[in-house]
Amino acid sequence: MSNNQTNILPEARSGERGFTLIELGVVVFLIGLMLFVAVPKVRDTMLTDDLEKIAKYLTVTARELRNGAVRNQIDYIMHLDLDDNIIWIYSADMTPEAKKERKKSAFKLPGEVEITDVCFPYGNITDGDATIRFSRKDYTQPAAIHLAEKDRRFTVVLEPFLHSAKTYDGYVDLPDYMVER
């Protein structure tokens, strides 16, 4: 090399070597392992559809209402408007004006998700309004909320003495022990 040219690469010193094939293989394996764990979670988060989101919303809301009713010693009511596909919550001691205000800030079901019906032990409600009471005595009115989006169905079952709602993929009726005969 002439003196006029500048060498931009450092000259290799004797005894220095690059990475071995085993070291590169371990790094590639670790990156692949991290992707194997992370990609499904990211995919599920990004691709969860509206129907599943609403089922989870109802499940979480039911648990919070039940716990709040016991903690605050006041009944809470989940109001489901099957015609407009909106849900709102209010306490049993609210004035009619306060209930109207709560309805104005109701949760609107997204996209094509709709509440098809709500099953109670005494019968089904397929249109209009349905209310589910969460008692301060740690009791929930038994109900099955049926959701639909296009050709898919989900059911959220609220059992009287369980602290969590059960979610089913598909249309499920109330269990026989809850139905009045």
Residue 1 has pLDDT above 60, yes or no: no
> Tens digit of pLDDT for each residue in 149-160?
888 899 999 988
* Each residue's pLDDT tens digit, 52-100: 888 888 988 999 999 999 999 999 999 999 999 999 999 999 999 998 8
Residue 8: pLDDT over 90: no
Q: What's residue 118's pLDDT?
A: 94
pLDDT exceeds 80 at position 181: no
- pLDDT-derived band at 5 (thresholds 50, 70, 90) equals low
pLDDT band for 139, please (50, 70, 90 cuts): confident
H or E element at residue 158: strand 152-158
Burial class (CB in 10 A: 0-12, 13-18, 19+), 148: middle
Closest CA to 144 of 132, 136, 152: 132
d(CA 47, CA 55): 15
What pLDDT does residue 160 have?
A: 85
- What was the pLDDT predicted at 6? 61
More confident: 13 or 150: 150
User: What local confidence, expressed as pLDDT, does residue 3 receive?
Assistant: 56
Dihedral Cα 55, 60, 62, 65, nearest 10 deg:
-150
pLDDT at 91: 92
Helix (H, G, I), strand (E, B) or coil at 157: strand
What is the model's pLDDT at position 77?
Answer: 93
pTM score of the predicted model: 0.70
- Summarised one tens digit per residue, pLDDT across range 90-136 is 999 999 999 889 988 898 988 888 999 999 988 889 999 999 999 99
3-class DSSP assignment, residue 43: helix
